[in-house]
Amino acid sequence: MDISVVICTKNRAAALRRCLAAIFEIEFKGEWEIIVVDNYSTDETPQVIGTMQCLSPVPFQAIVELCPGNSSGRNAAINIAQGEIVFFTDDDCIVERSVLDEMQKVFENRSMGYVGGRILLFNPQDYPISIMEERKTIQIPQGSMVYPGLIQGSNMAFRRKALIELGGFDPMFGAGAAFAGEELELATRASMRGWLGGYFPGPTVYHDHGRDRAKAKKSEQKYDFGIGAYYGKFLLDTSTRRVCALTWCRRGLRQLFRHPSGLPRQFAGAISYVRLRGGHA
């Protein structure tokens, strides 16, 4: 199997149906499969999954994950995925038909462990958040911290070998968990382990998040808090402390001019992570 396509969902039956309908239109000559993880939905999601499973043009696995959080759902999918590459998108996204072809091209480099793709607004009326419109490739050297925004959960892929080697996503991060940013945290662990990664504009999805300015600002606050926790985690690790501190300082100086209100939330997130980590130790 070349690629496994993973979608985690909860209580978004209509969005999931549209997401899967677009995925069914993917044009890919290799072998691929679909894995849908239902994080214990209480709406019509189970019925939608059953219906779409019958219509799927490729092997389709459906599982229910009772542990809350996006990371728990993704880890459950990793455990059963057959693809050499595991591609993740969200249930409120619409993929381009060429997305798997474009991902496969990037992973022809055997050192490539993780990839983020282009994310565009589906509805131009939505607030421009949770997107990545850059048209140029951005390589991420091994052993470096991944900058927030380069790798986003709505359009990312990991080599399955890297996922297994790293133990999957950290359940403390992700939607439904204490902190946002599970993809950022895992990508950085992959980088520190020696995997090459980067952002590539070829693989493209459209994000239909439906957030106006007010909702987007609330999401931004959660992201800032999660970014702080991300830095807090790598500051605690003596092997990554120096590179993390330098990276945070550089980013912090830029934020003083671009997004100063995010810094206090990042500091709060870092402190919260350290406290929670101490409780789990």
Q: Exposed, middle or buried: residue 57 (CB in 10 Å: 0-12, 13-18, 19+)? A: exposed
Number of domains in the chain: 2
Same domain, 170 and 52: yes
The residues with which 95 forms a beta bridge, in sequence order, are: 205
pLDDT tens, position by position, 206-228:
999 999 999 999 999 999 999 99
pLDDT tens, position by position, 97-139:
999 999 999 999 999 999 999 999 999 999 999 999 999 999 9
Same domain, 155 and 227: no
Same domain, 202 and 222: no
Same domain, 250 and 155: no
Same domain, 32 and 143: yes
Same domain, 52 and 67: yes
Same domain, 118 and 28: yes
DSSP letters spanning 71-138: HHHHHHHHHH---SEEEEEETTEEE-TTHHHHHHHHTTSTTEEEEEEEEEESSTTS-S-S-B---S-E
- What's the half-sphere exposure (Cβ side, CA atoms, 13 Å) at 156? 25
Range(s) of the domain holding residue 36 = 3-211
Same domain, 62 and 165: yes
Same domain, 261 and 176: no
Q: How many C-beta neighbours within 10 Å does residue 41 have?
A: 18
Same domain, 190 and 227: no
Residue where one domain finishes, among candidates 211, 231, 253 = 211
Domain CATH for 186: 3.90.550.10
Q: Exposed, middle or buried: residue 275 (CB in 10 Å: 0-12, 13-18, 19+)? A: exposed
User: Confidence class of residue 281 from pLDDT cuts 50, 70 and 90?
Assistant: very low
